[in-house]
Homo-oligomer: A and B are copies of this chain.
């Protein structure tokens, strides 16, 4: 392949110079790199949201893509940088759980990023995206073997925010993972883990809302009425035809979602 793809996911926003600096460092090392922004609008310091976005977006990229994730409230403290391999993709991120939803999908390997000769010199305390992740991503996209970046580790951080907890024989407590741009509430109930929803009676409660039916499309409900559907990622989501479910229901990211299945 003539060039390799690097994606970027950060909480830097696009009004500062930070994202462009990372791109400059990458292109200085690997001028033919093809850089794709996933998002830079992760809520500042929202690890769960970043974990969801990275897991959902990265799986659609060609094998061998290098995904850089820089969302780290603990920068400057002890979050070590890591390299993960999963589903033919390569991830660079701080070891703060932001790759948990990638890990959850299947076999994966994790290394600590310790090969300091790959980093910019000196490494600042405040901008690992520029000093560590960007140069290592550029080298990986040029073909550097992941094994050259550091040793395999087992004690990386995994968080379980993506998975509902069973609270009784018929009941689970999940959460709203993310409010998307349209105000849809994306829950962490995945249709593959709850296939019975398609055929058995159920009740999903989020805030004051109770829903007992699965709809096929956004447009199925009358305007203004919430419908439950399987979103494009396979997660159950609550949507309102041409309106924001989040505003209508007063629900925020992280809100609990209670499922009962008979």
Q: Point out residues on A near B: beta carbons under 8 Å.
A: 1-3, 5, 7, 11-18, 20-21, 23-25, 27-28, 31-32, 34-42, 44-45, 52-53, 56-62, 65, 73-77, 124-127, 130, 178, 180-182, 216-220, 229, 231-233, 242
Contacts and interface: CB of A to CB of B under 8 A. Distances in A.
A18 B58 CA distance: 11
A124 to B, nearest CB: 5
Contacts of A74: 219
Q: Is the interface of A mostly helix, strand, loop or mixed?
A: loop
A25 B36 CA distance: 12
Contacts of A60: 20-21, 24-25, 28, 130
Contact of A23 (B36, B77, B180): B36
B125 A217 contact: yes
Contact of A36 (B20, B39, B233): B20
Contacts of A38: 17, 20
A224 to B, nearest CB: 14
A31 B1 contact: yes
A216 B60 CA distance: 40
Contacts of A218: 75-76, 126
Nearest to A23: B36
A98 to B, nearest CB: 14
Contacts of A65: 24
A208 B233 CA distance: 48
A57 B7 contact: no
A199 to B, nearest CB: 18
A98 B76 CA distance: 32
Contacts of A13: 41, 181
A188 to B, nearest CB: 15
Given A41-B14, A74-B219, A77-B217, A5 B21 contact: no
A65 B12 CA distance: 23
